[in-house]
Amino acid sequence: MVSALGMTATLGGCGGSGSGEVTLKLVAAEYGDSKANSSQAYWDDLAARYEKTHPGVRIDVSVYSWNDVDAKVRKMVDAGEAPDMAQIGAYADYADEGLLYQAGELLSIPVQADFLPQLVNAGTVHRIQYGMPFAASTRVLFYNKELFEEAGITSPPRTWKELAADAAALEDAGVKIPYALPLGPEEAQAETMQWMLSGGAGYLDDVGSYDLDSEQNVETFTWLKEELVDKGLTGPTAPAQLNRADAFAAFTRGEVGMLNGHPSLLRSAAEKGVEFGTVTMPGRTGGTHAAMGVADWMMAFKQNGHQREIGSFLDFVYSEENVLAFSRKYDLLPTTTTASEAMAASKSDAELAAFLDELPETELYPVGKTSWAEVSAAVKQRIGEAVAPDGDPRAVLDELQQVALKAENGA
């Protein structure tokens, strides 16, 4: 992600010098990877189009990198200077503190009803929707077709056993990283969840309680350590030091045989001339298991008021045209039914079909839990230890479970 852009404008809630104009302050995350495709340009264009038909409202947008944006918003809130809106990675802690408008207090009925149902569920706290899904993605297994052919592999893996066998064949063929396993601090919680789901479990049990140390999860990470990492099939960089961005970059250089990826990898791999395929993440024994989905969130703070103006602007943000434009610009999936149906019917979006097909059945991070931010941070820092040479998957997962329970209970 590009570096944060400067935050130069006045805070939301300040009108224009006696003019009666309302200024809405929005803090948003950066989805671009260069100045040329920065999210600031998207928001500036959208704001200009909105202001043209709403002369009494000014939209002031500041964009920050994903490394900074959540902390920036927290700092503003703690200083009593909350923005009117924030488009960031989590909302539940602010909802639990009573700082947010409910979605139903802002959006028109057609707009609120257009959100994909599973994303609405993920956006609720105490059965009330506060988080408005802004962007989504799912994960599939990417594989390098040329490297597969050189290794004599005729079809992508469907089971863990086949994945391990393919990784071994790739290593024998001289592939630098047969399977990239990014468990570094950038986004280890994603790789962790995808493997937990493929093993039949996840972060939570069936009643919504943390269950990181379940027998299924222990078996999953024991298999990863013994069948991939210990056998040298995950490349020269220890998984605990491998970040997602570095794994993606290695894939685009043709150095990786297989890895879990999201839609943004489609364009970057194609631009580098990599011939690749995508399939559903292999399961322990094949068959059906939940895929992982990720959503980012829009929320609106009550501090400055402006409920009517915020609602009007968000109705515009979530129009089919604007949702599609943002999704296509950054290779993401729409969060609304109308935009999803339009993308599915468009030949120009055919490459996203595999991701769209998975979205209705995905399982998302437990973002509705106010404890999730702390748990996610702990997973990022610790899970790589589970597959280290002297690592103990059961001990690491037990320790993470204790962190989760303490965070859940506010200890």
pLDDT of amino acid 108: 97
Give the model confidence (pLDDT) of 284-302 as tens digits: 987 667 788 889 999 999 9
> Which of 120, 122, 87, 84 lies closest to 104, judged by CA?
120
CA 87 → CA 189, 265, 291, distances in Å?
A: 20, 22, 24
pLDDT of amino acid 403: 97
Topology of the domain covering 140-290+371-408: D-Maltodextrin-Binding Protein; domain 2 (3.40.190)
pLDDT of amino acid 358: 79
**Residue 218 DSSP SS3:** helix
pLDDT band at 411 (very low <50, low <70, confident <90, very high): low
Inform me whether the pLDDT recorded for 4 exceeds 70: no
> Which of 261, 279, 320 lies closest to 138, judged by CA?
261
pLDDT of amino acid 20: 66
Radius of gyration of the chain from its Cα atoms, rounded to whole angstroms: 22
Cα-Cα-Cα-Cα dihedral sign, residues 156, 157, 162, 167: positive
Give the model confidence (pLDDT) of 86-134 as tens digits: 999 889 999 999 999 999 999 999 999 999 988 998 899 889 999 999 9
Q: What is the residue extent of each domain of the chain? A: 22-137+295-356, 140-290+371-408
Give the model confidence (pLDDT) of 202-229 as tens digits: 999 999 999 999 999 999 999 999 999 9
pTM value?
0.81
pLDDT band at 15 (very low <50, low <70, confident <90, very high): very low
Instruction: Note the helical H segments in 330-368.
Output: 337-345, 353-358
Span 346-352, average pLDDT: 86
Establish whether domains 22-137+295-356 and 140-290+371-408 are of one fold: yes
For domain 22-137+295-356, give its CATH number from 3.40.50.1370, 3.40.50.2300, 3.40.190.10, 3.30.70.260.
3.40.190.10
